[in-house]
Structure 1
Amino acid sequence: MKKLVPFIVILGIIVTTMLAVIPDYQKSQRPFNKLASFAKTKGFAVGILLADGSSKASAATELLKVEQIMKRKINVKYYEGKEAMQLSAELQVRRPGFIVMDGDGNLAGKEEGPLDATKLTAIMTNLHTH
């Protein structure tokens, strides 16, 4: 019996640790938190909420226009389906739409409707980046 006590204690510590870590892991897997982490690592990020797969090509064209105007690469993540619905509900923005995160992972701007180069450029000019 005395030989089992250390194993039981170690098992108890492992279970307690797992119970503490699982909620944080689940929270980190939310689309908003993934985009915030992406923005922190890249300096800033644009999340594009697509209504359907066909709008991705037009969004990419608008992004190219903004990159030419701003003379810098734009870090972007596209969201479709379940992730797009979760982001749209959490940020109260309709699809199609887009959100911009600054270098600290904070929401810098959000717009509803298809990606528009002039709207994105207006948000990007005052963006805090790293």
Structure 2
Amino acid sequence: MDGDTVRRRSPSLSDHSSQATLFWNSMPDRERRHIVEAFCFELGKVETPEVRERMVGNLAHVGSDLAARVATGLGMEPRSAGRAPFPQSWNLRRRERLKTDPMSHRLPAISGKAHGKFV
């Protein structure tokens, strides 16, 4: 075998936000509020305004509404993310929400089923 060996990263490894976007898009509204409040709480402790601005900019890659809500909660001006870090062909729309309510996973009823106990 002849040829040059090239070591380089796959372009897909430069995608840092599509999975977070899918997660954000699948959250129900009450979970979204909780996430926004958590970001506001944690970023509110940051003393350097540039770090807060950079974080809000990173959140804009996940969702413009997420970034706008966090920026508003921090008393900042919301801004756009610029170029999306993932291919536009990926379908990252809002889809069926994740079931985060523990009571939503109920077991089927056992009525009508025979059961016994060994002694």
TM-score, normalised via structure 1 length? 0.24
Give the number of the structure with larger relative contact order, counting CA–CA contacts within 8 Å between residues 6 or more apart. 2
**Which has more strand, going by share of residues?**
1
**Which has more helix, going by share of residues?**
1
For the pair shown, the structure with the greater C-alpha radius of gyration is 2
